[in-house]
Structures are given as structure tokens and as C-alpha cells.
Chains A and B, each alone.
Chain A
């Protein structure tokens, strides 16, 4: 069974601070990785893809460590609007009828003024 594990938090962080959280995955054959953001009672929305070389989008940096099978998300200069639940998604497109997706349960982030 494929597993994706995240620390559920909550992470309580003062505004302006840097926060990082990880997501570990069990399937070494996993091929694509994403971070999604979910606000309360809303649908998850793509925050960023995670590439092997690491990638940055403004204040957000994502890293992939295939050897240790984890991905990370770093948020710099955190804003009140960053308060949300961050979901790790691991895709394994192997065809053959597999569902191909595994979600973590999410990490709850609260930015405090």
C-alpha cells in the first residue's frame, strides 16, 4: 500500500517567519510530486509542482529528495494569508488501472499576527 505521511500540525508561526514542513512517501517508483493548498471547506488548489532539482516560486521553495523519499515546502516571510492546510500529492502514473494518486492528510499552518 502506498503511503504519504505528513505532520498534521498545527504549525503556529508568527507573521514574517520562515516555516518548513516535509512529506515522506513510501513508493520509490513515484514519479511526480505536488504541493496543494486547501482553505477551510474549499477545494484543494495547486500551489506548486516539485521538481528533482528543486524549484522556487516567490516566497515558496519546494525540494525533492529521492534517496530519502521526501519532499519539502519552505515558506519565507510568511503572511497571514498563508494560513491553510498544505497537502502533499504523489503521483505514480504506471497505467494498468491504478488510481495513480496518493494524498497526504495535510499539514495545518496558522500564521499569527
Chain B
């Protein structure tokens, strides 16, 4: 198993550009999450999904969109990039059961200039 795969690892965007952060997991996990982490700060939940076809907003959803057409994939879309979206983005997945750990991707460092 590859676990959670995130791409790209680094990206620089200009203000107003769009991009999609890719996240895929091969563990058949139902729960998937997108977090952002600003320097020196904790993780903030952007969006999450409890299964294919189901998504919901987290704490900081503005400026982002997600889709979950399959169990494996959970892409995060930035439509009009803004400097406030400069951050490190982590995707994670969880089987959704007690005492089962959360798996993280290696992160995407995004700069919007």
C-alpha cells in the first residue's frame, strides 16, 4: 500500500490563478480530510468527506472546493488564488473506527504571490 499520496509537493501561484491539489489513498478509507497549516499554527480543517459522493465544510472552507467521486480520490480546488491561501496543505484519511490511526500525505507547500 502507498498510503496517502499528495501532489504536487510545492507550487507557486500568481494571484487569481487556479489549481487542484491531488490526494489519493489506496486503503479503502471512507473518511478523507483536507487541512491547511500556516507557519507556527495548528491544523485547520478545510473540507472533509465521509464517503464517496459526500463532502462537508470544515472550519475554513472559503476559497476552496472539493469533490469525492471515488473512495480513493479527494482533490482540493482553489479557484481564484489569494495570498491568504499561502500555506502548507495536508490531506489525510481514516478508516473511521475506534483506535484506528489517521494517515497523512506528505503535504503541499503552496505560495500565492
Contact = CB atoms under 8 A, between A and B. Distances in A.
Interface string B32-54: 01000000011101001010001
B15 interface: no
Nearest to A50: B99
Interface stretch (B64-72, B74-82, B88-96): B88-96
Nearest to A97: B50
Which range holds the interface residue count of chain A? Answer: 20 to 34
Given A42-B107, A99-B58, A34 B98 contact: no
Contacts, number: 60
Given A105-B41, A105-B42, A99 B33 contact: yes
Interface residues of B, number: 26
B9 to A, nearest CB: 11
A100 B90 CA distance: 17
Interface of A is mostly: loop
A91 B31 contact: no
B104 A32 contact: no
A97 B54 contact: yes
Which 4 pairs between the two chains have the least Cβ-Cβ distance?
A105-B42, A43-B104, A46-B101, A99-B48
30 contacts: A31-B98, A32-B98, A32-B100, A34-B101, A41-B88, A41-B107, A41-B109, A42-B106, A43-B106, A43-B107, A44-B43, A44-B102, A49-B99, A49-B101, A87-B43, A93-B97, A93-B98, A95-B96, A97-B50, A97-B54, A98-B50, A99-B31, A99-B33, A99-B45, A99-B48, A99-B56, A99-B58, A100-B31, A101-B33, A105-B42
